[in-house]
Structure 1
Amino acid sequence: MLDLRRNNLSELEAGSFNALWSMKILLLSSNYIRTIHLKAFESLGFLEKLDVSRNLMHKLSHDFSNDLVSLKELRVSFNQLEQLGFKSLQYLENLEKLDLSHNQVSFIERGTFRGLSKLRHLFLQANKLEVIHDGFFFMLQNLEILNLARNNLSVIEVDAFTSLHSVTLLVLSGNQLNHLKFKTFLNIQTLSTHLQVSKNPWICDCDLQRVFGKIMSVRHLHVDDYENLTCSSPLQLAGSSLISVDTQLCVAETATVLVITITVLVTVIAAIVMAERNRKKNQEKNWNESEGPFDSQEK
């Protein structure tokens, strides 16, 4: 192990660790590193843990992972990363834990996590992500923990989590979500998954209540903080918990919709019946009028 924490380092030159080919742990946190040059990690083919957290990096270069083929744990938290390119992590095929939390990441290129088939823990909390697209976590079939708390998420596409076959904890709290689609979570096919979704600006209506009702009716899905979900709107419910929203109102709403539907249906049927009666009357009238001349001719 090499511990270089708090050493005022500002960059890593090529070949910085050439004589340390057997090293397994490298700690570089709490420095001032802005740049990691090409081949800085050359010869570190046996490195298993790398900590570059609490530095000043704005990006990971496309060749960042080239020589880190044995890495199992990577910590890049508390930097200033703004985006992730799909090549920067492509050789980390043995990585099990990735911490990218507390950065400024607003964009992650499709395919960025494609090669991380052994990844079990992914920490992306406290970034600036706004949308989770379909296929975002493609190939992460062994992922167990996914933390997306405290981003700016307002949209999660329906198939965003479809490939997560092992996830046991999915954290979405502290975002900008106001509604969810049931199918988004129904597509998570696991033995047991715990969801955390509090501290979002929920629009509390009967539809949202029904969505959460469906989610919690699925045996393998568990909403850990359902009792802590707070309404942001409508205004009369702001600050109230979703669980306190009167279920009777939703029943009444459903009943009202049913009454309106039945009323419309009855009206339509009545109109059809009246139209049919009028048609028959007109038909009989026309028939009588057409028979009149023949009766006269016979007399």
Structure 2
Amino acid sequence: MGAHSPKAGIRKEKPGRSRAKKWADPAPLLSTPCQEGILQSLPLPSPCLAQVQPLTGTECGQGFPPGLVPLPPAQAGRRPPRQAKGTWMGGKEATMSSWSRERNQRTMFLLLLSVASAQGVPPDPTACLVFQSVNGTSIACKPPAEVPRRLPADTIHLAVEFFNFTRLPAGLLRGAPRLQELHLSSNRLHNLSAELLQPVPGLKVLDLTRNALSRLPPGLFRASAALHTLVLKENQLRALDASGLHGLTALRHLDLSGNQLRTLPAGLLANVPNLRVLDLSDNQLEALPSGFLRGPLCLERLHLEGNRLRALAEDLLAPQADLRYLFLSDNKLAKVAPDAFRGLRRLDMLDLSNNSLTSVPKGLWASLGRPTQNLQYGFDLSRNPWVCDGHLHDLFRWLVDNKEKMFFQNDTRCAGPEAFKGQTLLEVAESR
């Protein structure tokens, strides 16, 4: 497939590894009508932005907390900063883009810095940046700024990143009951208080990327019924309790990638009925428990790449009839059950690259359907030690029917027998 193909835009996240980028379908966090002069976005994803107005005691109902510096109003006759695509927003509805794992973790800090720079405001390195929109107040703190001891009551977005905190300042979230997004990435947090999220029951996004968490306290999410995006990637989690996600009834996106998980409890996902994206990539999983994906959840995207999985059981994926993207690359898969893909009639992408597959059971590919029915974004079987003998006859026929959807055809080669060693699977398939 050429560079214009869908996979070309979502592949190769790390050099030297056969991985697909992990992205989620857009799902707005907020949607508000924008008045004239309000921007939809700046160079990075942002909430619907108003021209910056100073915060005063009369506007906020209270004085501005120490350590926070509001940006001044736009100069008369000066246009607001240009959007990334060079268009202007006025009188239209705008939305806040959903959090995406591929976007820069410093989104809010850079966004506010862009606003300040565009208006000729020299940033104060000792203070957090604050921005007031039609939705509420957004605050971004980065060293050497001091984290404020109290927040404006209308704070909806808080980013406290790159501070190397081992623990959060006491009472950080008190007085901000409207908080919807909390970004705490790139610190050194070892532990979280079980009471951390109690003051913010409306929280929708929690990002704890790149910390040092080895466990989650019991009951952490008991008051987090509104949370739909939870990012715990690149921590040191070794195990999770079966009840670790209790309370997250609205959760749609769970990212546990880049941890040290070796096993997972069978009931971990029993109480997250709205989960659509599950990322378990780059852990140390050798197997998943029987029935792990059973229950009310309806996954659309499952990331298991970069683990140590050796076999794909027939009952693992069967409950997930709505699954569209399945990433299994960079494991040690040597065995796939004959019915492993049975029922995955909506599957759009399958990545089995860089495993230990020499053959697959008869009938495995037939369960995926004909070319026009699914796999519209393609499949990848490259970098496996395929033995191109009679055991692959079923696969050969399927490849001929689906060759236009096959990625990295030149890297999908026979390891044996000697007569076919080095030839591509497609060449051998078409010669039969």
| TM-score normalised to structure 1 length | 0.77
Deviation at 1:172, TM superposition (A): 0.5
Greater displacement, 119-128 / 236-245? 236-245
Deviation at 1:245, TM superposition (A): 4.4
CA distance in 2, matches of 1:211, 1:222: 17
User: What secondary structure, in the 3-state scheme, does the structure 1 residue paired with 2:365 have?
Assistant: helix
Deviation at 1:205, TM superposition (A): 2.4
The gaps in structure 1 that reach 5 residues or longer are: 251-299
Q: What is the aligned partner in structure 2 of residue 185 from structure 1?
A: 365
User: What secondary structure, in the 3-state scheme, does the structure 2 residue paired with 1:137 have?
Assistant: coil
The question of 1:136 aligning with 2:316 is answered yes
Larger radius of gyration: 1
Deviation at 1:217, TM superposition (A): 5.1
Q: What is the aligned partner in structure 2 of residue 201 from structure 1?
A: 385
Deviation at 1:64, TM superposition (A): 1.3
Match of 2:224 among 32, 44, 66: 44
Q: What is the aligned partner in structure 2 of residue 230 from structure 1?
A: 413
Deviation at 1:93, TM superposition (A): 0.7
Kindly indicate whether the alpha-carbon contact (under 8 Å) linking 2:329 and 2:353 is maintained by their aligned counterparts in 1: yes
CA distance in 2, matches of 1:135, 1:18: 38
Q: Given the superposition, is the C-alpha separation of residues 100 and 235 from structure 1 closer, same or farther in structure 2, using an over 3 Å criterion? A: same
**What's the Cα RMSD here?**
2.2
CA distance in 1, matches of 2:339, 2:333: 15
Q: What is the aligned partner in structure 2 of residue 124 from structure 1?
A: 304
The gaps in structure 2 that reach 5 residues or longer are: 1-180
CA distance in 1, matches of 2:269, 2:427: 45
Greater displacement, 183-192 / 170-179? 183-192
| Correspondence 1:1-299 to 2 at 5 A | 1-115=181-295, 117-189=297-369, 191-193=373-375, 194-208=378-392, 210-216=393-399, 218=401, 222-235=405-418, 237-245=420-428
CA distance in 2, matches of 1:150, 1:183: 24
CA distance in 1, matches of 2:394, 2:405: 13
CA distance in 1, matches of 2:190, 2:231: 15
Q: What is the aligned partner in structure 2 of residue 266 from structure 1?
A: none
Deviation at 1:32, TM superposition (A): 0.1
Deviation at 1:63, TM superposition (A): 0.6
Kindly indicate whether the alpha-carbon contact (under 8 Å) linking 2:368 and 2:374 is maintained by their aligned counterparts in 1: no
| TM-score normalised to structure 2 length | 0.54
User: What secondary structure, in the 3-state scheme, does the structure 2 residue paired with 1:98 have?
Assistant: strand
Deviation at 1:65, TM superposition (A): 1.4
Among all aligned residue pairs of Structure 1 and Structure 2, give the percentage whose two residues are the same amino acid: 27
Q: Given the superposition, is the C-alpha separation of residues 246 and 141 from structure 1 closer, same or farther in structure 2, using an over 3 Å criterion? A: closer
- Count of aligned residue pairs for this structure pair: 248
Kindly indicate whether the alpha-carbon contact (under 8 Å) linking 1:141 and 1:166 is maintained by their aligned counterparts in 2: yes
Deviations 1:7-39 (A, max 9, x none): 211122322210010010001010000010110
Deviation at 1:117, TM superposition (A): 3.3
CA distance in 1, matches of 2:317, 2:404: 19
Q: What is the aligned partner in structure 1 of residue 39 from structure 2?
A: none
CA distance in 2, matches of 1:34, 1:72: 23
Deviation at 1:185, TM superposition (A): 1.4
**What amino acid maps onto 1:56 in structure 2?**
Q
Greater displacement, 213-222 / 127-136? 213-222
Deviation at 1:212, TM superposition (A): 2.9
CA distance in 2, matches of 1:118, 1:247: 38
* Larger helix share, 1 or 2: 1
CA distance in 2, matches of 1:47, 1:16: 14
User: What secondary structure, in the 3-state scheme, does the structure 1 residue paired with 2:285 have?
Assistant: coil
CA distance in 1, matches of 2:256, 2:330: 17
